[in-house]
Structure 1
Amino acid sequence: MTATRLRGWFCALLCGGLCQAAQAQPLHLYTEEYPPINFSQNGQATGLATEVVREIMRRAGQSAPISVVPWARGYQQALVRANTGLFVTMRTPEREALFKWVGPLTRNVISFYALASSHLSLTELEQARHFDEIAVARGWSSHQRLLDQGFTNLVPVTGPAQMVSMLKRGRVKLMVLDNLSLTTLLSQGEIQADEVQQLLTLTHSDSYVAFSQGTDDALILHWQHELDGMKADGSFAAIYQKWLPGEPQPSMAPQP
């Protein structure tokens, strides 16, 4: 029996017990305002990752509400609350042991951005230390990375839309954002794409659903199996291209 078929058989064997466990311990899911990946619309969570997560639950025979909350709140819940997932979460070495992971869901390039009219140049990370203030989303992997690098000129904000607003109004000269959300956030902030320039790439990262350490391993295995199945049958690609046409998709998760 191949490894893939064996994993499928094992997931099917666990499904009955997993569904019973989910009923005994309700699943809690959190996301944030991060369009077009996940965001709220008419009081409901939507977006690329939200559609993927809902399809995983449908295939797994599960259901759970998805709460759209500030990132820091969802992150804290996923750290301490059993049976809790947060998406999308960048998988970094610093976070690896804090969560259990299902993914990847997106591929991201995180960079420094400035208004094109500022005519700024940034060719190495060290130069960014000399700017008065840099807008970052509080608790994001980019915020954590720059803190680890000893940056003291960061302005943490509650979400990416606030960064765009601060850049537009001249409150900061630099913001740190990823390529996938940039176009949507600029549009919402009434900034044309050619008014903003990418200066320097900070990091490349894949995003995942991050589950608390108190989440059953069987659930993690089952969710990963269903996500891999979506990638194999083309349904993941259809959702991805709907929200991010032309963007490269993440591959299957590495097999243990």
Structure 2
Amino acid sequence: MRVVVLVIATLVFSTPIFAQDHYKIYSVEAPPLSMQHPETDYGRGIVLDAVLEAFRRLDISARVEFIPWKRAQREVSMGRDAFILPLARIPEREQRFTWVAPVMDLERSFASLRLRVDSYKQARAELRSIGVGFGTAQYHLLLANGFSEQQLVEILPGKGPSMLALGRIDAWFNGTDETLWYWKRDQQIEPLLVGDAVASNQLYLAASLDVDQALLESLNRKIVELQREGYIERLKARYLGGEVASPE
């Protein structure tokens, strides 16, 4: 009888107890990283699929909401027990969020119809107007690298191809994979000139500053587990094509 009691106690205290059984994740339409209405049978996007799998493995329910990106960041940073993805970890955001775990790397580049742009220096000198997504890390990156606000045109998600085709911007500064995804989706005829990556950073699952620490630690472990299993690399190969890297 004593042995049974000890076993039950061990099970109770080793099982994480979360603040609630339902959490909200805010995201942005950024194929192939996250998608509100998937245009393929793949799923919800590389980053969103990975994070939802982490929640599933913890047997925790998560509801995904897509709202304007600046508002989403404000809701999470000022709220409690809310999550956001895919969020780049840049100085302007460092103190506003709890950084749960990096999910994948993202390269950023300039895309244009009239010239190939391979560096910030070239872009500053040769581009008059550069499209960047509302509230994205791209805007802050360009300001930090010496661009003037007058050179930057904040645009809605996915509007880069049409803005380029209409000549309303000289170039689009964005995540390379997302740029190519949208260009292919819109079936643009003109060849797109995508320069070398000028920046690379990690995309995170982030959370409110006031967040359930037990869930935070559990999610971190699950995302690391997914990386070690090669689960995220398989997602990337499925969405982007290419070979799957071997698990660590």
Partner of 1:188: 185
Deviation of the 1:247 alpha carbon: 7.2
Partner of 1:105: 103
Give the conservation status (yes or no) of the 8 Å contact 1:15–1:60.
no
What SS does the aligned partner of 1:167 have? Answer: helix
Partner of 1:28: 24
Deviation of the 1:14 alpha carbon: 6.6
Q: What is the CA–CA distance in structure 2 between the aligned matches of 1:230 and 1:96, rounded to whole Å?
A: 25
Residue among 220, 225, 234 paired with 2:221: 225
Partner of 2:78: 80
The amino acid across from 2:59 in the alignment is G
Q: Unaligned 5+ residue runs, structure 2?
A: 1-11
Residue among 94, 103, 112 paired with 1:114: 112
Deviation of the 1:135 alpha carbon: 0.4
Q: What is the CA–CA distance in structure 2 between the aligned matches of 1:232 and 1:127, rounded to whole Å?
A: 39
Deviation of the 1:46 alpha carbon: 1.4
135-144 or 95-104, larger mean C-alpha shift: 95-104
TM-score (norm 2): 0.82
Deviation of the 1:142 alpha carbon: 1.1
Give the conservation status (yes or no) of the 8 Å contact 1:70–1:158.
no
Structure with the bigger percentage of helix: 1
57-66 or 71-80, larger mean C-alpha shift: 71-80
> Superposition pairs for residues 80-229 of structure 1, below 5 Å?
80-115=78-113, 118=114, 120=115, 122=117, 124-130=119-125, 131-148=127-144, 149-152=146-149, 153-159=151-157, 161-191=158-188, 195-229=191-225
Residue among 56, 81, 98 paired with 1:58: 56
CA RMSD of aligned residues (A): 2.6
Give the conservation status (yes or no) of the 8 Å contact 2:16–2:214.
no
Deviation of the 1:124 alpha carbon: 4.1
- Show CA shifts across 1:53-74 (max 9, x none): 1111111120021012222221
Give the conservation status (yes or no) of the 8 Å contact 1:71–1:158.
no
Deviation of the 1:226 alpha carbon: 0.8
Aligned residue-pair number:
230
- Show CA shifts across 1:196-242 (max 9, x none): 11235331111011111111222211101111122233333332322
Identity over aligned pairs, percent? 23
> Superposition pairs for residues 3-18 of structure 1, below 5 Å?
15-18=15-18
TM-score (norm 1): 0.80
Partner of 1:6: none
Larger radius of gyration: 2
Q: Unaligned 5+ residue runs, structure 1?
A: 1-11
Give the conservation status (yes or no) of the 8 Å contact 1:14–1:218.
no
